[in-house]
Amino acid sequence: YAKRQGRDQFCVYTDAMTHEAHDLIYKSAGIRRALENDEFELLFQPQFDIVAPTIIGAEALIRWNHPELGQLSPDAFLDVAEQTGLILDIDDWVFKQVAALVSEWKSQGFNLDGISFSVNFSGRKFFEPGLGKQLDDVIAMYDCSATQLVLEITERDMMSRFDLSAATIKDLRKRGYRVSIDDFGTGYSSLASLKNLPADTIKLDRSFILDIVTSDRDLAIVKSVMTLAEELGLSVVAEGVETQDQVDSLISIDCQYAQGYHFAYPLREDQWMLLLSAYNNALPRTS
Ligand code: C2E
Ligand code: MG
Ligand code: MG
Ligand code: MG
């Protein structure tokens, strides 16, 4: 292992140390360096109103442009970040970066009216005391308002501390942020618990969308979530939509919002703004 250590990296390797522990230290040093050296990047995956059809926003998805390993997906480093608490620094970076980019795009003359930006938060970040005030302080530095931002927390994380989640969601919404429950359907909340969820949106996990065309049961499940969500005033975004047939099924049960490779992959900043401009005709004002 010693060979893999950079000159100035922390190394406390002993025979007793497990491979996993060593790996954790090695990788967390890498994440710290990545934060310092600006190796993280946000991609933006467009979200659509499939009835209109129009682009309604985008979800920011982090990537690590690793100097040796190339571009890494969140799967490759979020676990370690969670275990070491570095996820808090990552989530802070992501939120600030989104606020900065929104502000920058506006200053370039792009019209972002009606376009919202979704940011993924870890449970740890979401449950930090004083989160709302913290976020307000960040956006105050930029030309970005709370009403343009959607904060995503997974159903699993939300269910792990339901009462705290509900209180946090209330506070965030009072400040103008919208809150979305990510990967909905995988976190073992009963449909009944939706009643006590003061969120704005649920994102239906892609495992429910996968067989929606061929399985009547899957379609029925999605349909019942739609019905209940509507009664509770929640909007629903279908995740992981990959085919036109899935789009047709979704439209047939009045699911209006969707995201997935069928429409667009997560895009680099410039590509995302090009697509938005072309699609919604929000070309930069020239005056
Ligand atoms: P997520 O928030 O549920 O994001 C959706 C994931 O599904 C993304 O993977 C996206 O690239 C992928 N995806 C989108 N459309 C399709 C599709 O049609 N088919 C398939 N098979 N996949 C699709 P990604 O970017 O690898 O992110 C994975 C997870 O990592 C995210 O799941 C989210 O939980 C987490 N994550 C991503 N960015 C951040 C971040 O900035 N902060 C935090 N805390 N977590 C993040
Ligand atoms: Mg998400
Ligand atoms: Mg999701
Ligand atoms: Mg996920």
Ligand 1 closest atom vs CA 205: 3
Residues 225, 189 contacting (CB under 8 angstroms) = no
pLDDT per position as a tens digit, 98-153: 999 999 999 999 999 999 999 999 999 999 999 999 999 999 999 999 999 999 99
Tell me which residue has its CA closest to atom 33 in ligand 1: 120
Nearby residues of 43 by Cβ (< 8 Å), 6 or more positions away = 60, 61, 62, 63, 266, 267, 268, 272
Q: Which residue has the higher pLDDT, 23 or 2?
A: 23
Pocket test for ligand 1, best of 120, 127, 149 (most atoms within 8 A of CB): 120
Nearest ligand atom owner, CA of 180: 2
Which residues are placed with Cβ below 5 angstroms of ligand 4, an ion?
Answer: 183
Confidence of residue 283 (pLDDT cuts 50, 70, 90): very low
Evaluate if residue 2 carries a pLDDT over 60. Answer: no
Q: Is the CB of 265 under 6 A from ligand 1?
A: no
Ligand 1 closest atom vs CA 239: 15
Backbone angles phi, psi at 146, to 5 degrees: -55, -35
The alpha carbon of 13 and the centre of ligand 4 are apart by a number of angstroms equal to 33
Nearby residues of 184 by Cβ (< 8 Å), 6 or more positions away = 155, 202, 203, 204, 205, 225
ipTM of the complex: 0.98
Q: Which residue has the higher pLDDT, 6 or 185?
A: 185
pLDDT per position as a tens digit, 78-94: 999 999 999 999 999 99
The alpha carbon of 232 and the centre of ligand 3 are apart by a number of angstroms equal to 21
Q: Is the CB of 98 under 6 A from ligand 1?
A: no
Pocket test for ligand 1, best of 61, 84, 265 (most atoms within 8 A of CB): 61
Nearby residues of 190 by Cβ (< 8 Å), 6 or more positions away = none
Q: Is the CB of 205 under 6 A from ligand 1?
A: no
What mean pLDDT, rounded, does the chain reach? Answer: 91
- Supply the DSSP symbol for 45: E
pLDDT per position as a tens digit, 202-232: 999 999 999 999 999 999 989 999 998 999 9
Confidence of residue 21 (pLDDT cuts 50, 70, 90): confident
pTM here? 0.92
Nearby residues of 139 by Cβ (< 8 Å), 6 or more positions away = 99, 145, 146, 149
Tell me which residue has its CA closest to atom 30 in ligand 1: 74
- Measured distance CA(222)–CA(185) in Å, rounded: 10
Q: How many CB atoms lie within 10 A of CB 91?
A: 20
- What is the helix (H) or strand (E) element at residue 23, kind and residue range? helix 19-36
Evaluate if residue 12 carries a pLDDT over 70. Answer: no
Q: Which residues pair with 187 in a beta bridge?
A: none
Evaluate if residue 5 carries a pLDDT over 60. Answer: no
Tell me which residue has its CA closest to atom 19 in ligand 1: 240
Q: Give me the mean pLDDT over the 269-281 stretch.
A: 90
The alpha carbon of 206 and the centre of ligand 1 are apart by a number of angstroms equal to 11
Q: Give me the mean pLDDT over the 231-252 stretch.
A: 96
